[in-house]
Structure formats: structure tokens, C-alpha cells
Amino acid sequence: MSDKLSKFKEMIGEVFDLNRAAAVLSWDQQVNMPPGGAEARGQQLATLGKIAQEKFTSDEMGSLLEELKKEYTDPETDEGAMVRVAARDYEKAKRVPPEFVAEQAMASAKAVEAWVEAKGKSDFSIFRPHLEKNLELIKKYVSFFPPADHPYDVLLDDYEPGLPTAEVREIFGNLRPKQVALIKAIGEAKQVKSDFLKKSFNEKKVWDFGETVIRKFGYDFRRGRQDKAPHPFETTFSVDDVRITNRFEKNSPLATLFSAMHECGHALYELGGNPAYERTPLASGTSLAVHESQSRMWENLVGRSLPFWEHFYPELKKAFPSQLNGVNVKSFYKAINKVEPSLIRVNADEATYNLHIMLRLEIEIGMVEGSIAVKDLPEIWNARMRDYLGVTPPNDAQGVLQDIHWSYGSIGYFSTYALGNIISAQLWERINKEIKNLEEQIRKGQFVELREWLRKNIHQYGHKYDPRDLVRKVTGNDIDSAAYIRYLTEKYGEIYGL
């Protein structure tokens, strides 16, 4: 290793440490911190963010990267990929003043607490000024960059490198009419029964059952933990400290189980990373869409499959004998896959989920363009829910306030959820070609080969490959919705007799 590369890794490692320390503070804010600590926590996060930004965008870092780009030119080597990713991030970060990073961190910390209060009281007016501030800062952030084909491109690139808004719209444009047609066909079929899912389920038993499942998936509780938070999430402090959070909803008690599977999918990605990438730009997943492909795969393609429940249902029925009395495994499987327009994105069925995402994408683009004002969001949200899904939120908590992302200033994020669904199906087709008896393994509660396939083909690479390059490398194709439509059509065709 050259002296220059050693110096670079030392410097970038310190930036990495600062960002991970900020992640610990953010995790604590949602899991443990009393509401009164918001302002001080915002200042702490602002300080860490500013220092990290100053270190990363220093002239010394810039000079090192210029020299390293000439020395490490092979993108297939770890060193070449590390320099490429760092140089791209540096060019973007250099445009953003450290003072702005601090201001954004402070605003975000206050907005998170305001969102928690607003959601608890179902009162958008509490959150509105904070979202307006976040949006003001988002527009200022966009102004730091050269004009793009669309201002939203600048934001999307932070989460899905190299993927422009126009391409996302094209992918969704191809997907939407096919999903709408499927939903229409299902709506005309005989609906499945699911009333037993609304019964009272003991919270601790559901929580413990979820932990039993994710242990079998391979989530290592020596390197992770599951805590309660207002909104489920996964966060990474190191390859050996990857945590998840969850919540319990009385009106949808088994949602806790599927959230555990979902966040476990994210965690397995992080836990499966190459330890040699720790404290470098290659640590963590390559993009949010690829990350979401992992969480949605474990939650849906595995966790909502019939073979999965042929293994786990006897245990679940033993834990909840009265709630599941007279319900056989096939009926349970159909119930957890019931297609029904719903208010809450995270609880939406697979057939309607992407419509929730498309709604949010359009609203975000409108806010960034200036065609949608924050003050009008509850009304616009409710109108589009009626147009897209035929349901109207009865209050702000179940409508515009249901997601935490905007409180963080995370605009540009939501499309990655639907892209993750699409990628998961593409990967699933490849996996089933290479693991011939995968369905039988799942039926036996065996997940090692699946997990190791994902580790070998996806997880170990961290950020070495850009998302589209990784999808192409593994599947031989670009990101395309055809596999996802095939998956939905086959699954729901069988459930609803289409």
C-alpha cells in the first residue's frame, strides 16, 4: 500500500468515525432520548456534521484524491473503487459549505421531535414550519450544484447514484398500468378473509416470535439488537454493530413481525459486508434501492410465501391458539397477502405498495419544483390517496404524517422503495435458477444457502459497484420491472384464482 493511500485511508477513516458517531446520536434520539433533549442533540449533530464536512472537503483530501486517481485506475480493484467513490463524493461534498451541513443537522433534529409530537396529536400544523424549513434548505442544497435536467436529479443522486428522475419516471410509467390492471382484476375476484388478523395479539409474544424468525434468517444478536422506535429503521455503527428498531400497532398487530423481517433484511446486508471495507467509502450498501431489495425480499418474497408459513405457522398457532382457531395455513397465507387499498405505506400489500411510493414521488417533485406548497400537503395528500387508492385518511397521523423521512430532510428517497421491489424480483429469479431447491429449503426453515448467496453476490461488495452496475453484474439485465410483474401476476393469480 502506497504512503498516499495509507494517508487517505487514515483521513477518510476519521470522517467515517464522525459520521458513525452521529448515527449513534440519531439512533439514541429515536430510541432513548427524552423529548426535551432535541435542541441540544441538534447542536451535537450539527457539530459532528460540520467537522466531518470540513475534514472530508479539506484541500489536503482533494490533493490526495487527484494523485490517487492517477495511480489507481482499475475500477475492479478495491483500491480503484475506493478512490472512485471517494472522489465522486468529494466533488459533491466540496460544493456544500460546512456551515450549511451544521444548519441542516440542527433543523433536522428539531423537525424529528416536532414530527413525533405532530403525529402523536395528529396535527400537521405542529410539523408544518419545520418541514417548510427543511424544504427551504433542500432547495438551497440543490442550488449548490450545476443545473440538472431536473432539480430533483440532484437529490435522487444522493440515494441512487447515477439514476436520473426521467429514468425513474419511465420505469414507474411502465410498471403502473400493469399494477393497476392487476389490482382491478383482483378487485373483481372473490376477496379473501382476514378478520382474524385484527384480533388482539399479545405484543411481547409477537415481538418474541419476530426475533425467533430473524434469528433463523441469520441476524446475529451478538452484533445487533432490536429496540422500539416511532418508525422502524436499521442503522449501522460498524460491521459488528448493526441495529434495528420496530414498533407495535394494536390495529395491525402482525405488522411488527413483518417489520422485523424487513429491517433484518437491511441488517443482513450490512452484517455481510467485507470487514476490510470498514472505515472506507466502500462500507455499507451501494444504494437505497439495492438495500431495499434486500429488506423487501426477506419480508415479502420469503416472509409472505406459502413455504415459509408451512414451516412457521404451527409455531405461530401455538403462540396464538385462540386468535388462529380454525384458521389453516393456506387461509393464513392468503390473509397476510390480501390485496386491499390501505392508508399506511409500511402495512400495504405488495400489489398496492408501489402506488404509495408513486404518490410520494409526485408530491416530492412538486415540492422541489415549487408547484406544491407545504401548507397544502394534507389536502393534496388526501386527494391523491383517493385518486390512487380509493381511500381517504381520517386524520393527519394516518395521512401526511405517517412517514418520518421528511423530518430528516430526506427528500429524494421514496422512489428507492419501489425500485427495491423491482430489483428484489430480478434477483429472486436469478437465485431460483442457481438454488434449485430453494422453496423446499424455506419450507424446512433453512435460510443459510439463501443468505450466503446474497452475501457472496451482493453484500460483500458494499459500495464497490454502483447500483445499476451491480444489478447488471448479478442478473445480466438493467433495472426492469418485468420480473416484478411476473412475480405479482403468478402469486396473486394463484391466491385470487385469476
Closest CA to 69 of 84, 91, 48, 50: 84
d(Cα 346, Cα 259) in Å, to the nearest integer? 8
For the entire predicted model, the pTM comes to 0.90
CA 56 to chain centre: 26
pLDDT at 346: 82
pLDDT at 147: 92
List the helix and strand counts (H, then E) for the chain: 20, 3
pLDDT at 217: 98
DSSP letter, residue 300 = I
d(Cα 6, Cα 219) in Å, to the nearest integer? 33
Active-site annotation holder among 79, 234, 263, 270: 263
d(Cα 484, Cα 467) in Å, to the nearest integer? 18
pLDDT at 75: 87
Residue 20 grid cell = 458513525
The answer to whether the beta carbons of residues 247 and 229 sit under 8 Å apart is: yes
DSSP letter, residue 328 = -
User: Is 263 tagged catalytic?
Assistant: yes
Q: What is the gyration radius of the CA atoms in the chain, in angstroms? A: 22
pLDDT at 81: 96
The DSSP bridge pattern shows strands 234-238 and 241-246 to be antiparallel
* Torsion over CA: 148, 150, 154, 156 (sign): negative
Q: What is the pLDDT along the chain (498 residues), one digit of tens a residue?
A: 689 999 999 999 999 999 999 999 999 999 999 989 988 998 999 999 999 999 999 999 999 999 999 999 998 999 999 999 999 999 999 999 989 988 998 999 899 999 999 999 999 999 999 999 999 999 999 999 999 999 999 999 999 988 899 999 998 888 989 988 999 899 899 999 999 999 999 999 999 999 999 999 999 999 999 999 988 999 999 999 999 999 998 889 999 999 999 999 999 999 999 999 999 999 999 999 999 999 999 999 999 999 999 999 999 999 999 999 999 999 999 999 999 988 988 888 999 999 999 999 999 999 999 999 999 999 999 999 998 888 999 999 999 999 999 998 999 888 898 999 999 999 999 999 999 999 999 999 999 999 999 999 999 999 999 999 999 999 999 999 999 999 999 999 999 998
User: Which DSSP helix (H) or strand (E) runs through 243?
Assistant: strand 241-246
Place of cell 444522493: 158
DSSP letter, residue 241 = E
CB-CB neighbours of 283 under 10 Å: 21
Place of cell 434477483: 427
Residues of the chain with CATH 1.10.1370.30: 165-496
d(Cα 16, Cα 27) in Å, to the nearest integer? 16
Residue 181 grid cell = 390492471
CATH architecture of 165-496: Orthogonal Bundle (1.10)
Transcribe 375-415 into DSSP letters.
GGHHHHHHHHHHHHHS---SSSTTTTTS-SGGGGT--S-TH
If you count them, how many residues does the chain have? 498
